[in-house]
A and B are shown apart, each in its own frame.
Chain A
Amino acid sequence: MLEVRDIKKSFGTQQVLKGVGLTVEKGDVVAILGPSGSGKTTLLRCINFLEKADEGTMIFDGETFPLDRMTKKDIARLRRKTAFVFQNYNLFRNKTALQNVTEGLIVARRMSRDKANEIGRQALDKVGLSDRYDYYPSQLSGGQQQRVAIARALATDPEIIYFDEPTSALDPELTGEVLTVMRKLAAEGRTMLVVTHEIRFARDVSTKVVFMEDGRVLEAGSSDVFFANPKEERTRSFLRTLEQERAQS
């Protein structure tokens, strides 16, 4: 349902993405792994048009788009089918949890307030926050904020949800509650593209893995094959490092 090809992106003279491509089928959970600075965030931001790629093509639901020449209308149309979960949550600070979830429904999709509130409450229930509807982000823990952000993403029933390291801003004891929610979504067949350092999550939940380094895809493939038998030496050493970090924490 989503394919991107040959995305290139430079900041000044530094080329951050040197021709990256990946494919996501409906129901896939694709994990993007790779060391810090390899361009994972930039890739997601280009795919959701928060950055403008210098080159690249996107095929979404069979329609082809040039990433360097997107029209405002196409961007708006595609964003209605997608959702983004940020590393640092980015909840609207002047809105309650429920208002955060309903904002996109009421304002962007012109849904009635009652209907939106109903959907919003269901989404918050789903992430285990049925007792926090009227809390402001500043009154919630990091894990709770990220779960509100996931509820906000779910509310619009997107075809795909992008996650950018959803747990890496959280204290270790709070990552579990967010990962649990994400596992649930995966089990329900949600299509997700997830940048993560949570190796166990990637191994257990993802269907495909993309390993990035230095602005390129070094290795990609089905998750079973990738973890059982990584081809590249670089991939193997990266996985070892992550395992060690996990063992230490």
Chain B
Amino acid sequence: MDERLLNIIADSFWKILLPGLTVTIPLTAVSFLLALIIAIVTAMVQFANVRVLRQIARFYVWVIRGTPVLVQLFVVFYGLPRAGIMINPFPAAVLVFSINEGAYASETVRAALESIPKGQMEAGYCCGLSYLQIMRRIVLPQAMRTAFPPLSNSLIGLLKETSLAANITVTEMFMVTQRIVARTYEPLVLYIEVGFIYLVFCTILTKLQRICERKLDTYEKVQDYAADRRIGGLWKRKERSGGQR
């Protein structure tokens, strides 16, 4: 490899990483947070069978899951101005990604809610809790524990998907890489380089997921008793720490 190429790689690394930290990650984080809120509301409305809202929720999921996110980005950023609605690139991207991800995540949360045994709800009623109290304190926490691995998966998917925002002039990592390629004519190394940075981000997220799952396992164990006995050593450790809380 000649010196010029090495210089380009080293030079561009920080130029690409910086928008990764200041645009890609905030875009992912904010969109995902909003998506979670949308997902929980959408899933709850269907789970509780609220009449009209349930149909609206189904319609929303149907439309969003049935159209490409790239088309959705174009509709919002290039289309809506025709209707007099101008949205800046970054908020437009947040809007589309949160609505898009919300639809998918709502299906994950809904499935998780439905997987909680009916007895949990009935026991709640017998203890005098109201429907909303049971949902908030018993059913939803358990469902979110179940939904945690697939939702982590979605988060990783979203991180990579934000590269599509380059199409609506958001200067995130991929957009910046394209600009450097246009200047240096080195597409091979530069696109591999940005891919590598995505890979590092995703690896960190995967590691975080593992750590969180282990934490959740300690505090909200939902495996069966037999499984506990199978991993006897681990169980003993938890047994000891159990008394301190």
Contact = CB atoms under 8 A, between A and B. Distances in A.
Nearest to A103: B127
Contact of A109 (B125, B128, B222, B235): B128
Contact of A107 (B133, B224, B235): B133
B245 to A, nearest CB: 5
B141 A50 contact: no
A91 interface: yes
Interface stretch (B82-90, B150-158, B236-244): B236-244
Nearest to B142: A94
Given A92-B120, A104-B128, A156-B128, A139 B137 contact: no
Contact of A92 (B128, B138, B243): B138
Nearest to B235: A139
A136 B123 contact: no
A79 interface: yes
B119 interface: yes
Interface stretch (A81-89, A189-197, A228-236, A239-247): A81-89
Contacts of B243: 134
B128 A76 contact: yes
Interface in B82-134: 117, 119-120, 122-130, 133
B67 interface: no
A5 to B, nearest CB: 23
B222 A138 contact: yes
Interface string B13-28: 0000000000000000
A122 to B, nearest CB: 17
A104 B120 contact: no
A48 B142 contact: no
A148 B167 CA distance: 58
Given A50-B122, A86-B122, A138 B128 contact: no
Contacts of A92: 120, 123-124, 138
Contact of B128 (A80, A91, A141, A142): A80
Contacts of B120: 90, 92-93
Chain B contact residues: over half helix, strand or loop, or mixed?
helix
Interface string A164-199: 000000000000000000000000000000000000
A135 interface: yes
A114 to B, nearest CB: 16
B220 A136 contact: yes
A9 interface: no
A152 B137 CA distance: 16
A139 B242 contact: yes
A86 B221 CA distance: 21
Contacts of A50: 122, 125-126
A108 B123 contact: no
A140 interface: yes
Interface in A89-128: 90-96, 103-104, 107-109
Contacts of A134: 242-245
B7 interface: no
Contacts of A95: 138
Nearest to A155: B127
Given A82-B126, A104-B129, A134-B242, 10 more contacts: A50-B122, A79-B126, A80-B128, A88-B119, A90-B123, A92-B123, A107-B137, A108-B130, A138-B227, A156-B128
Interface of A: 48-50, 76, 79-80, 82-84, 86, 88, 90-96, 103-104, 107-109, 134-136, 138-142, 152, 156
When A and B form their complex, which 4 residue pairs have the shortest distance between CB atoms, in order from nearest? A108-B128, A104-B127, A90-B119, A90-B123
24 contacts: A48-B126, A50-B122, A76-B128, A76-B130, A84-B122, A84-B126, A90-B119, A90-B120, A90-B122, A92-B123, A93-B222, A94-B138, A94-B145, A104-B128, A107-B127, A107-B137, A108-B128, A134-B244, A135-B239, A138-B228, A139-B228, A139-B242, A140-B225, A152-B127
